[in-house]
Structure 1
Amino acid sequence: MRPLSSPHTLSESELLDACLAGSRLAQKQLYDRYSARMMAVCMRYAQTTFEAEDVLQEGFLTVFKNLTKFRRECPLEFWIRRIMVNAALRQHRRNAHLVAVSEGEYPQDLADEEFTLANYGFEELLTLIQELAPRYRMVFNLFAIEGYSHKEIGELMGISEGTSKSQYARARVILKNKLERLDAHRTNGTFSR
């Protein structure tokens, strides 16, 4: 095996082998290689940077604790991403008692209105997603970004499939309204979220 130097000089397999052999330098390199991308994942689920950093740290602790369970059947990044999403879900469950959301408050069958996100910057979209109530943010991210089905989301979050669909629809409506206000701001210079 090559000496450990920069985080991008070792192949994924070599880096994994070094981590499994107990190399602290390899563990740091694995963290350095994936932490920025995983922070972006965590930011989509968290309401604040501080919360996202907590999820990131919890996620990487889980990664290193369970590295022997990685079967190398998929890219390491996918496996780490799934761990980060699960860490975000655990964080959400711990904080769920802090936010009361009436599930029957919103209509379950909303029209599927399309709105184009390509006209907005990443930071704008991230900020708007972070402003969603935690349940809506989780369902939106899991469905729209991570590609989970509503049935899978229901199982992960301990809610019904219908509740997942309802919360996703409500999140879309809220985001659409915020984007319309953002467009109005761009047009006439005023904006309120």
Structure 2
Amino acid sequence: MQTHAQIDGFDPERIERDVRRWLERAVIGFNLCPFAKAVYAKHQVRIVVSDASTERALLEQLGEEMALLRDTPADEIDTTLLVHPQVLGDFLDYNDFLDDADALLEALELDGVLQVASFHPHYQFAGTEPDDAENLTNRAPFPILHLLREDSVDRAVAAYPEPDAIIERNIATVRGLGVDGWNKLLGD
């Protein structure tokens, strides 16, 4: 029997598997985020596949996830990935939505406590072309709002030698891999 999600092509289990593959092969596998491996190995990464189909519903769920992260000890959940495959597929719309996410942080008085990092299948840094390899550092199989604890980020950066070199190293890594290599890496 097919579920509603299967009929619509929305398969949360497949989506989560794809996100985990991206985390394990790219983010952790290529050490794009040198802080991800420890929290992932300790099962402190919460992955939520949103069924939101409107920006308003997504913003509401984002607020719920912010509150949950605020109210849960870091040793249980250190970071949350809110994957939203049915809304904000257009990168420019997604990029505009980040202002709403930041405004929500402020409204919940979580500015300075949490931060939102952004990943999208069509991520494009200002001043780059769509196919420039450096965009791959923030590309994910689906749009993702990544909630991070500021304290955890501060501790990780303080313990990491030369944190400013991470960005340049990541760009060199993905340039070496190239767009075709990236796609092959994330394929089945």
Coarse TM-score class (shorter-chain normalised): under 0.3
> Is the helix fraction higher in 1 or 2?
1
- Structure number with greater CO (CA < 8 Å, separation at least 6) is 2
> Is the strand fraction higher in 1 or 2?
2
Largest Rg, 1 or 2: 1
